[in-house]
Chains A and B, each alone.
Chain A
Amino acid sequence: SQQGEEDPQALSIQEGENATMNCSYKTSINNLQWYRQNSGRGLVHLILIRSNEREKHSGRLRVTLDTSKKSSSLLITASRAADTASYFCATDDTNAGKSTFGDGTTLTVKP
């Protein structure tokens, strides 16, 4: 099964609301990354959080990491219609030596 699993699979909110997506993983990691994918396009890197960090901010994005629970969350504040996309977490598996992507959360922001 995938190393990273996002929750929920799909999320629909109104513009201006906050969106929270969660990622759980199974093994030890060096870092965790979040990516966004617009329909028909490649993934775009959003933010990287290292295993010794607990929280990181980038603009309207806030990422938390809890290594004891093997989980991470991505919060998008004051969402916009343009935030509509799929969001993926990717974990850097120390044992496997490669990144593994989750199945993604599909976010729809209604104008």
Chain B
Amino acid sequence: DARVTQTPRHKVTEMGQEVTMRCQPILGHNTVFWYRQTMMQGLELLAYFRNRAPLDDSGMPKDRFSAEMPDATLATLKIQPSEPRDSAVYFCASGNLRQGSLNQPQHFGDGTRLSIL
């Protein structure tokens, strides 16, 4: 079965360091989402892309977070500089969604568990 692949699965680093998380969406999917999951806030949408173009990044702290899709097979989420409050599990999801519609399932990767010391 096709799967969304995220790397690394775990990352521990010290505050101030740059963190890059990668996602390989399912081939043929036109929409890619980045979510953050914490016990306190639950699952939050950070940003999403359709056909590699950023559509909404309103959930993302702009000063330190950036999301890109260099090509159709790779999405990246970067944090620079990282802070302890960024500790969370970051999920990437992809789907084949029509313009203006969110009526198809999202397929999630298994996440990157990030710990900032």
Contacts and interface: CB of A to CB of B under 8 A. Distances in A.
Interface stretch (B13-21, B64-72, B75-83, B103-111): B103-111
B42 interface: yes
Given A42-B91, A42-B93, A101 B43 contact: yes
Interface string B74-117: 00000000000000000101000000111111111111000000
A33 B108 CA distance: 14
B105 to A, nearest CB: 4
Contacts of B102: 30-31, 92, 97-99
B26 interface: no
Interface stretch (A13-21, A44-52, A64-72, A76-84): A44-52
B56 A98 contact: yes
Q: Which label, helix, strand, loop or mixed, suits the secondary structure of the A interface? A: strand
B34 interface: no
Contacts of B111: 41-42
Nearest to A92: B102
A90 B108 CA distance: 13
B45 interface: yes
Given A45-B107, A92-B103, 17 more contacts: A2-B42, A30-B102, A41-B110, A41-B111, A42-B93, A43-B108, A44-B108, A45-B106, A48-B103, A50-B103, A90-B106, A98-B45, A98-B102, A99-B102, A99-B106, A101-B35, A101-B42
| 4 A-B pairs closest in CB distance | A42-B108, A45-B105, A101-B43, A92-B102
